[in-house]
Chain A
């Protein structure tokens, strides 16, 4: 799962992989087009549905947060 997500993030911006901060949206690593692309790719790859309510810094702040969030959706 993590490999798949890393590949997706790399396609948007390679810097996301090394990013150590808490909010990659605020730190301009990813723009609005990037975030919706990631959401769409995640939904297609893992056959999940992501709600607007879930698009938060807590879930999409960095790659580890995305791993955790997707894991929680898959195991739910």
Chain B
């Protein structure tokens, strides 16, 4: 069920009605019921997958917790020496790790099979000459809930959180309909306590939530879906296009990805705000970032923090990394150790980030592209600072900051070369055709308007991007929602009506129009 559809509107109104009428202590049960219905509408067979994963996660978390409780009891019974306690901890950690390993193997195995099953079977057929077939089911949001679950299991193993004693509550955290399709990748320990404090939606919560949903609809329907027409038109027929049309499509593509994904986040966060559950923030105006590293701290924040906590830090603190650091320190001194420390965990994370986004080679290239940019930014930062000083560049000046922001945006747009064309060969073809001609005349010979967007729609797309940037710039400085809320009722409702009318008038609809699925849903 698409978040922007009539069926979802009916679903949401039904939920809110039942939710409002249900006593507070039972509200979470309503959310669980409706979340299961939402999920089941994507396919009953898919529901079995998420139920299976949730049972594995629940059982493993409780078992690990039991082992750690036994350890506490063993330590508490007698005053142990530090060394004895350390040995005892190792023993119990080993037992706990066995449970963790089995659970991770199953969770990652299911994810791998759903994402790579087709490729694996065709690889086996190619190499062994067999003719195996496999019916692969891809459960809704499998990448998102698997990652959240892995995080939860590791947190329990590390004793950073206590597991939920209630399976239905854990299941709700996993299947909660606002975050299941496209994230954010939630931490269950932040959701679980909120289930105990659910209340009747207040006027403020309701209007704040609606505001955010409206802004999300504007981003998705007015900007993202309009830009998608142009971007798809250009990249679906690469041979027919050349020169400047590709950079324009890449710039539009960058804004399409942003408005599509962050638009969805605004819609689901708005819904969740009304229900009284605060979801983790996934965007912080990434197009105002001044470096590649900062960009990824502001874009898909929950994926970035997930990789940091569960891959990056564990690699850094692993015995393998310690050995590698010592070895490179011996051979190349402190610098060698620093290079190794910066490069290995970051490149691993970005390789995995690429694989997480898709199964094609182009996603691996895209991940490595960002890894190299971030690593080189870090390793060269000292030298670049010296260079800036020598060139007498005042790095605090507005012009310099604008330059860095534009540079970061350009790097993001170039990265789209690996994402928008169908495969790596097509990406290379695009790169080649960009430089085949400098057809600046497309700006006045009307050919710019022959890619799905007529002149009116093209101008509307550009104006809405400018409006988006202005709104984001304002949100960098002030809390726009609170500012609107402080205005008197006439101005406030004028803003709402203008927003609703903008979506109704300028949104992409019409006969035969099929609303674009949210891009990040496919990941």
Contact = CB atoms under 8 A, between A and B. Distances in A.
A37 B341 contact: yes
Contacts of A40: 316, 325, 337, 341
A14 interface: no
Interface in B155-177: 157-160
Interface SS, A side: helix
Contact of B341 (A36, A51, A76): A36
Contacts of B308: 32
Interface residue range, chain A: 10 to 19
B314 interface: yes
B160 A53 contact: yes
Interface in A21-76: 31-33, 35-37, 39-40, 43, 49-53, 55-56, 76
A31 to B, nearest CB: 7
A32 B317 contact: no
Most buried by A among B316, B322, B338: B316
Contacts of A33: 293, 342, 378
Contacts of B160: 53, 56
B209 interface: no
B297 interface: yes
Contacts of A51: 158, 317
B370 interface: no
B313 A31 contact: no
Contact of A39 (B157, B317, B338): B317
Contact of A37 (B158, B317, B322, B338): B338
Contacts of A56: 160
Interface of B: 82, 86, 157-160, 293, 297, 308, 312-314, 316-317, 322, 325, 337-338, 341-342, 345, 378
23 contacts: A31-B293, A32-B293, A32-B308, A32-B312, A33-B342, A33-B378, A35-B313, A36-B313, A36-B342, A36-B345, A37-B338, A39-B316, A40-B325, A40-B337, A40-B341, A43-B322, A49-B322, A50-B317, A51-B158, A52-B316, A53-B157, A53-B159, A55-B317
What are the 10 tightest A-B residue pairs by CB atom distance, in nearest-first order?
Answer: A53-B158, A52-B314, A36-B316, A52-B317, A55-B313, A52-B313, A33-B378, A76-B82, A32-B308, A40-B341
